[in-house]
Amino acid sequence: MQCSLSSTLPKNTPELLSSILSPFNPSNISTDDRRSSPDRSDLKTDVIVDLGCKRKVGLIGFRCRCGEMFCFEHRYSDRHDCSYDYKAAGREAIGHENPVVRASKILKV
């Protein structure tokens, strides 16, 4: 009994498989395509610290609109000395979204 898949496979299956399964050869890549890996000394090792309590926040830090990172206790603007002006930003947003509508001038008789 013959397998039904053998009739659907292409005739050059060994060459196809060898081209797919051939090991990666980095010498085939041109030197322009290679990216130089950064040295460990070049990597920046800045530690993100909360400005309020000097606690390390890392990935769980909250970025305020003033641009600084804070821990979960100091993330709100009333918990730290926030320099962002929320009132002015709100006024500007309302003014931008709701332009002043003025009627066109009518000539009085």
The confidence band for 22, taking pLDDT boundaries of 50, 70 and 90, is low
Q: What is the 3-state secondary structure (H, E, C) of 74-108?
A: CCCCCCCCCCCCHHHHHHHHHHHHCCCCCCCCCCC
Confirm or reject CATH 1.10.10.10 for domain 45-87, answering yes or no.
no
> What is the pLDDT averaged over residues 24-42?
56
Q: Where are the domains of the chain?
A: 45-87
User: Which is nearest to 48 in space by CA: 40, 57, 60?
Assistant: 57
**Residues 57-99: pLDDT tens digits?**
888 888 899 888 889 888 888 888 888 999 999 999 999 999 8
pTM (2 d.p.): 0.43
